[in-house]
Structure formats: C-alpha cells, structure tokens
Amino acid sequence: MGDEPKSSHGVQSLEIGVGVLKVLVESGSAMMLKEIAAAAGMHPSKAHRYLVSLVRSGLVEQDHENLKYDLGPLAIPLGLAAVDRLDRVKLGLNCISELRDLTNETTALSVWGEFGPVMVRWERPRRPITVNVVTGNTVSMLATSTGRLFAAWMPPEIVRPHLERELRQGRSLTFKTLDQIESVLQEVRTNGYSFVQDSDYASRVLGLAAPVFNFKNKITMAVSIVGVEGISDLGPQSLAMTELKRTASALSKRLGSTRS
C-alpha cells in the first residue's frame, strides 16, 4: 500500500508535454519550434526536448524540408477514438440544464432527424410563466429559431426539399420564395445564432438558438432558449444571449470543433 501513489499525484513532465501538444492542436496548422515555444511559454531548447519525445511517440511529426512540426500519425486515431466515445446528447442535456439555471428561461436541445430538427429534451425554468416545448416533435424549418438554424448550416441539398415542402404547404406567412429564405439564413450564419420573434407558430413567443458543431465542423445539435415577449430578455446584449453563445461554443469545443 505504501507504494501506491495518491490519485492527486501526477507526472509533471507528461503534463508539460501535453501542453506542448495542445499548442499544435489549437494552432490548426504546422508550426516552427520558436512559435511553439512562445505559445507554450517556455524556452525553445526545452520545447525541443518535449517535441523530440512527442515525435518518437507518433503524436507529432516534423517536416524535414521546412522543419515545421505538426500532429503525427498517432494523433488521428487517438482523436477519432475519443470522439467516438463521446455521447453528444448526454453532454448536450447537461449543458441545457446548466443554461436553464443560469438564465431562468426554458432551454431545449435539438438534433437533426429524418424529417428535420427534432426536440430531444427541454428544461423548465423556475419562473411561473413558461413556454411548453414538445419533445420528440419535428419542428418547422421556417417558423422556429431552431429550424432556421439547421437550415442555415446543414448542407443545402439536404434542407432544400424540407424548405420547399413547407412553402408548398403554406406553413409560413413570412416567406414566399427560397430567395427570401436564403436572405434570412445568410443573416443567421453571419450572426452565429437564430432569433425568431412572434413566429407563425405562436404569438409573443421568442426563440433563440445557437449551433453546436462536431469535430468535422458540421452542425450536430442546436441549443435553444424559448421565452415570452415582455417577460424574457433575449436581446443581443442579454444574459441569455451571452450564456447561450458560451454554452454552444464550449459544447462545440468539447466535441472537437475548431471553429472560432
């Protein structure tokens, strides 16, 4: 028992080496030794020693022509294995619960289903007046913030048939043509979020949604806040907006996205 290390003990050199590796991961491109050292906050000679070990392990490789360092062959299967073990929905459910506590608003998590965005779960706030969100239902692509969010970032060839169907069915009073829709979707992509006020579905209902991206930098989920006009503040400078963006960004990073 005396030889058994305490769980709080670790190997400092390993932690430093991981810090050097993290610099390469976050850079998104190959780097020179001096660049890595500067980003890691250490002397180049010290950084070089760690890079030599990382190269030997296969986590890092060096281009012998330009001398730049980049992620090595072992980094790819290691990263893919980590992503494969992630339960994205479980992570998302924890996030919307925390977001509900921070904002005291109704929060929801959605994924893409066979017929469009599907509400997986919603969390009710403490305030007496709330908006009920039906889980398991496919929501409108045009009339909801979540739908417009997926329409903005999903591949056009996938979302176009859904948009055309809703137009034919007259499910939107706001849009009459695909060109009108694309103008709004471009605004969603520019802003990084989707906001719908007084939608075709329900008056006085506010919807705010932000995208969650995976390691391929493709939308994989949507985190939403649903409020009531006159009661909820979902404006650009609101606490709800700030926390929604922070939550979606942190969740995207957790899933391996490199989008800024």
**Residue for token pair 């479980």:** 90
Please report, for residues 133, 135, 146, the alpha-carbon distance to residue 139 in angstroms, rounded to integers and kept in the order given: 10, 10, 8
Q: Do 139 and 150 meet the contact criterion of CB atoms below 8 Å apart?
A: no
pLDDT confidence of residue 85: 60
Q: Where in the chain are the domains?
A: 12-83, 87-254
pLDDT in tens, 205-245: 889 999 999 988 999 999 999 988 888 889 999 999 999 99
Quote the mean pLDDT of the chain. Answer: 87
Give the fold, CATH level 3, of 87-254.
Beta-Lactamase (3.30.450)
pLDDT of 5 above 50? no
Report the alpha-carbon distance of residue 186 to residue 31 in Å, rounded: 34
Mean pLDDT, to the nearest integer, of 58-73? 92
For residue 140, is it left (φ>0), alpha (ψ between -120 and 50) or beta?
beta
Mean pLDDT, to the nearest integer, of 238-253? 96
Full-model pTM: 0.68
pLDDT band at 200 (very low <50, low <70, confident <90, very high): low
pLDDT confidence of residue 166: 87
pLDDT in tens, 76-124: 777 666 655 658 888 899 999 999 999 999 999 999 987 889 888 889 8
What dotted CATH number matches 12-83?
A: 1.10.10.10
Mean pLDDT, to the nearest integer, of 2-6? 47
**Residue for token pair 């929801």:** 108
pLDDT band at 2 (very low <50, low <70, confident <90, very high): very low
Report the alpha-carbon distance of residue 38 to residue 22 in Å, rounded: 13
Mean pLDDT, to the nearest integer, of 151-159? 95
Higher pLDDT, 194 or 204: 194
pLDDT confidence of residue 86: 58
Closest CA relative to residue 48, chosen from 33, 62, 70: 33
Helix (H) or strand (E) holding 112: strand 106-113
Q: Do 212 and 220 meet the contact criterion of CB atoms below 8 Å apart?
A: yes
pLDDT band at 129 (very low <50, low <70, confident <90, very high): low
Angle, in degrees to the nearest 10, between helices 156-169 and 178-191: 130
pLDDT confidence of residue 13: 85
